[in-house]
Amino acid sequence: MQLSRAIGFFHGNIFLLSATVGAGIFVSPKGVLSYCLLNIPVSLIIWVLCAILSMINALCLVEVGTTFPRSGATYFLLKRTLGSYVAFCSVWINFFAYLIGLSAQSLLVASYLIQPFYAGCSPPELPKKCLALAILWFLGLLNTQGIKRVSWFQTASSLMKMSILCFISLTGIILLVTGKKENLSRFENALDAELPDASQIVEAILQGFYPYIGCTLLTNIAGEVKNPTKTLPRSLISSLSIVTVMYLLTNVSFLTVLTPKEIISSDSVAVTWMDRVLPSMQWAISLGISASVIDTTSCGILSGSRILYAASQGGQLPLVYSMLNEHLSPAPAVIQLIILASVAVIPSNLTQLIKYVALICSFLQGLNMVALLKSRFQNPDLPRPYKVWLPVIFASLAFSLFLIFMPIIQSPKMEHIYQLVFVLSALLYYRLHVHLNQSSVFSEKVTCYLQLLFNLSPSEDHENCILADKH
């Protein structure tokens, strides 16, 4: 009983496209343009810069995934190099980040699916949240059926959303070449726009960085990738190159049809774009956006459950989270994630849920880079099938520190204190749970009950993980 290595180069690309291309491309253009003061060249440069920085971050994590080819590879690296508390702190932050992300994404899917039934007004909260809960549980149950079924679902939904982006991009290019003179004039006069200052550039980068967050997915599921030494870097470079081109063409298409002021005043840029180009096909964009987000949500469940799986193998979460069902899926970890994400959906609204996702990822990326550097100097002889250039690691670390501290320096707020308290609260939970409750009789009884209820078996990787920790 162990996780099945079923993801090859093709499905590796599919998973990365699913995880990366989501709500971001339909939401972030508004934020990037707004913080760039409607400066079109600067906004497009921000999109390219975010793609390059995301590629750098992801390549650094590819080294982690190929050096430790197991699910939750970054957790194993942090525990090995920076200690148990830092590793648990990363699990703590990751866990809540996934809850926030899954809740926000399910609400966004529900909003787009239900909007056609409430034309001209906002849909009520109750049916929207009920639909969001139904989507979450459907995707959770799908993930308990094993990685192969999830991969085919991702393939179908990825083809649908890439078709939507291709349609938007090609339509924009045709309109730019054959359209009215006013379409070209927006680009001709773009250099006359006001330039943003440093703090606005940081905010724009955070907005543009959000659509690329999912590009590190394969590192979290490295234990289910065939031949990770070759598959991880090849899949990353090919899929992220496709995503970068599609994002740029989509932004150009938006700017061809809509003015920058129309983009920043729109609640959904893609729907506004379709309303201007083909009003009768507005439902198709709503369906495409829903497909874009729903498979991203599925990837979030897959990745988040593997973090819990790895922490359970490391002895920092109950053993039941690393047990597998008959489909070789860590079903308890998946169900736990879905239950708590469902609780987060009920009292929350979309704006509050997505506020800090990019900042959380920057903090975790910085931790991973510190651990990677320490591993390089502490264990120089450790076999590394894929080894990233050392300045690339320093560049990734510098970028993470820049995104974390620049907002604090520019405009310190009380919420920064709350974020620090949240991180430090992991220490209290770590002391209570890991040192007091992990070996209790009650915990063992609950584990046995859940094992019988869900027909679970311990993973054979568990003992190997314990032995690896000792060495």
Structure confidence at residue 463 as a pLDDT band (50, 70, 90):
very low
Section 91-113 average pLDDT: 81
| Two tokens, residue 124 | 């009520």
Would you say residue 305 has pLDDT above 50? yes
Q: Note the pTM of the prediction, 2 decimals.
A: 0.84
Would you say residue 234 has pLDDT above 70? yes
At 182 the pLDDT is: 61
Q: Which tens digits make up the pLDDT trace of 4-22?
A: 888 889 988 998 888 888 7
Would you say residue 65 has pLDDT above 50? yes
Q: Which tens digits make up the pLDDT trace of 408-450?
A: 777 666 666 766 777 777 777 777 766 655 556 667 787 888 8
Section 79-101 average pLDDT: 85
**Using CA atoms, how far apart are residues 320 and 311, in angstroms rounded to an integer?**
11
**18 and 296 in contact (C-beta within 8 Å)?**
yes
The full 3-state SS of the chain, as one line of letters, equals: CCCCCCECHHHHHHHHHHHHCCCHHHHHHHHHHHHCCCCHHHHHHHHHHHHHHHHHHHHHHHHHHHHCCCECHHHHHHHHHCCHHHHHHHHHHHHHHHHHHHHHHHHHHHHHHHHHHHCCCCCCHHHHHHHHHHHHHHHHHHHCCCHHHHHHHHHHHHHHHHHHHHHHHHHHHHHHHHCCHHHHHHHHCHHHCCCCCHHHHHHHHHHHHHHHHHHHHHHHEHHHECCHHHHHHHHHHHHHHHHHHHHHHHHHHHHHHCCHHHHHCCCCHHHHHHHHHCHHHHHHHHHHHHHHHHHHHHHHHHHHHHHHHHHHHCCCCCHHHHEECCCCCCHHHHHHHHHHHHHHHCCCCHHHHCCCHHHHHHHHHHHHHHHHHHHHHHCCCCCCCCCCCHHHHHHHHHHHHHHHHHHHHHCCCHHHHHHHHHHHHHHHHHHHHHHHHCCCHHHHHHHHHHHHHHCCEECCHHHHHHHHHHC
Structure confidence at residue 364 as a pLDDT band (50, 70, 90):
confident
At 441 the pLDDT is: 66
- Structural domains in the chain, CATH included, are 9-470 (1.20.1740.10)
Would you say residue 245 has pLDDT above 70? yes
Write down the mean pLDDT value for the chain: 80
Would you say residue 78 has pLDDT above 70? yes
Q: Which tens digits make up the pLDDT trace of 44-62?
A: 888 888 888 888 888 888 9
Structure confidence at residue 138 as a pLDDT band (50, 70, 90):
very high
Section 267-284 average pLDDT: 75
At 238 the pLDDT is: 92
